[in-house]
Chain A
Amino acid sequence: MGAAASPPSRAHRGAGRELLGTLRRRSYLLVTVACVVAFFLVWNWLTSSGVLHRIVVPPPGRVIERSREILGEPYFRRHLWVTVKEVVLGYTIGAGSGIVMALVSARFTSFRHLLQPYIVALQSLPKVILLPMIAIWVGGYGETSAMIIVVLVSFFPVYINSLTGLLSADENGLKLLHSLGATPRQAFRMFRIPAALPLLFTGLKTAVNFSVVAAITAELLGARYGLGFMLANSGTFLRIEDLYATVVVVSLFAGLVYAIFELADRKFIFWREDRNRFRSEERER
């Protein structure tokens, strides 16, 4: 700030502003880190001092330790694998058919109108309530019923977002392609589809979050495998450390999946406008 007060040499002022900016950014980071550290310290103190009994809340150190142990145990791994399989398979089927149906709906209006009532009816429905029905169809609560729920929850965000993207393509782009003599098919391929990608990816990201939640919820409600079952089971038998460790693993799994999609989004939808707007604001500051 001494630099800012000194005579207005341009380089000097620039350097001063830069330093100020760096300090400000660093201070945000510092506050964030300090809060996280404080949270764990308080948690640790609450458990070690006995304010919270270890049966209710284990100390953070133990949770981390147990999470690492549990990941090495074949028994736990088997359950983890079940959930991963449900999410990956269910999501692929759900999101995949969401994309295909959106493409067909955008291309053929009659198909879209035909589909419309079912979409409207099912969209706002909490999909988990269908679980007992699905369980009867597939012969019980388990991997299959959980996977079907995942298919259902991942279909809608992908379908709705892709379709909106495909239908809301900028008029000017279509006008330009028309003037160039492009066929509707070409306009679809060269403009509508790429223009819909940012929204499609938003749908994919929403759906993947839903998928993890749906799989675990379905498992919580009566399955005998999967992370959801592990949570329910550890709770029932008061294996508190296992319960917390499973929560950590689930969070890591969800976080990892989200990170993969976020990275893919940044790579493939590099022109995304909402993000660019934010970036250019950053640059202006």
Chain B
Amino acid sequence: MRSGLEVAERRDTETAKDLAILRAQDLSKVYTSRSGEPVVAVQDVDFEIARGEFIALVGPSGCGKSTTLNLIGGLINRTTGSLVFEGSEVRGPRREIGMMFQAPVLFPWRTTLQNVLLPMDVRGEKRAKHRDRALSLLELVGLTGSADRYPRELSGGMQQRVALARLLLEDPEVFLLDEPFGALDEFTREAMNLELLDIWSGSGKTVLLVTHNIQEAVFLSDRVFVMSPGPGRLTEVLDVDLPRPRRIPMMREQGFQDLVFEVRRVLGAL
């Protein structure tokens, strides 16, 4: 017979398991370079991410941010370690995890609407069934009336909005965003970041955002994962205890600036 204590303990671990949507242990990725030498892209990364968290990944080029994201997205296989999504090992791309890249990656022969509907084409579902939702998502990202336009008729910012609508149509639990607004100008990027926050808040979705921009990382996230190169490691995790909703004027506050300073210190950029 099990004691009451044991049962309570089990419940505790179960709740902890439920809270963590993603868990990585000793996660490593080793590539073989063209000359045949092994290149360690990511080494011994450990983290636990709770459902609904907004995580920012920062670090200089070559620190393994994108590799980490590609591992979670199931685009590449890990060399060692474990990576668990909702209790099961990640072994390939899955519906619950969606990705967005620096390039919008729209197909030029598809209209905006058809591009948004791409995930449903892949699933083999009828476009008509998802048309209304696709249209309302286009409205959400501020592209009302552009449904029948082709990508070449849209600006860079608009193209990235289409990519966002496409990701939202997929409706994943985890959003993996690999510098999605990195190629946009400063103003557009800021506007897109605020929109992203609006869409995310209250959605209960988990976000992992890769960025080069420290201010952006602190402004958006609940926690900042700082990575360092050679080999790529997760060096430090900083909690961002700023109130939500986040608004631009908060960037003037001492608390915000201290955090930005702290990230810089960890990155060794001081």
Residues of chain A touching chain B, judged by Cβ–Cβ distance below 8 Å, are: 170, 172-173, 175-182, 186, 190-191, 194-195, 197, 270-271, 273, 276
Interface assignment of B180: CB less than 8 Å from any CB of chain A? no
Partner of B109 from the list A175, A181, A194, A276 (CB cut-off 8 Å) is A194
B residues 70-127 touching A (CB-CB < 8 Å): 73-75, 92-95, 98-99, 101, 103, 105, 107-109, 118-119, 121-123
Interface assignment of B47: CB less than 8 Å from any CB of chain A? no
CA separation between A186 and B93, bound complex, in Å?
15
Asked if A175 and B75 sit within 8 Å, CB to CB, the answer is: yes
Please give, as numbers and ranges, the residues of chain B lying within 8 Å of A195 by CB-CB distance. 107
Please give, as numbers and ranges, the residues of chain B lying within 8 Å of A177 by CB-CB distance. 122
CB distance from A271 to the nearest CB of B (A): 4
Asked if A180 and B105 sit within 8 Å, CB to CB, the answer is: no
CB distance from B101 to the nearest CB of A (A): 6
Beyond known contacts A178-B93, A194-B107: 4 more, CB 8 A cutoff: A180-B93, A180-B118, A180-B170, A271-B150
Q: Which size class do B's interface residues fall under?
A: 20 to 34
Asked if A180 and B101 sit within 8 Å, CB to CB, the answer is: no
Partner of A181 from the list B93, B103, B150, B151 (CB cut-off 8 Å) is B93
Please give, as numbers and ranges, the residues of chain B lying within 8 Å of A176 by CB-CB distance. 99, 101, 105
Asked if B101 and A175 sit within 8 Å, CB to CB, the answer is: yes
Of all chain B residues, the one with the shortest Cβ separation from A176 is B105
Asked if B103 and A186 sit within 8 Å, CB to CB, the answer is: no
Please give, as numbers and ranges, the residues of chain B lying within 8 Å of A181 by CB-CB distance. 92-95, 122-123
CB distance from B68 to the nearest CB of A (A): 15
CA separation between A190 and B120, bound complex, in Å?
12
Can you list 16 pairs linking A and B with CB atoms under 8 Å apart?
Answer: A172-B101, A172-B105, A177-B122, A178-B75, A179-B75, A179-B93, A180-B93, A180-B119, A181-B93, A190-B118, A191-B107, A194-B109, A271-B109, A271-B151, A273-B108, A276-B152
Of all chain B residues, the one with the shortest Cβ separation from A174 is B105
CB distance from B115 to the nearest CB of A (A): 10
Please give, as numbers and ranges, the residues of chain A lying within 8 Å of B170 by CB-CB distance. 180
Given A190-B121, A190-B122, A276-B152, decide whether A179 and B99 contact each other with a Cβ distance below 8 A.
yes
CA separation between A86 and B151, bound complex, in Å?
41
CA separation between A271 and B149, bound complex, in Å?
12
CA separation between A195 and B118, bound complex, in Å?
15
Of all chain A residues, the one with the shortest Cβ separation from B176 is A179
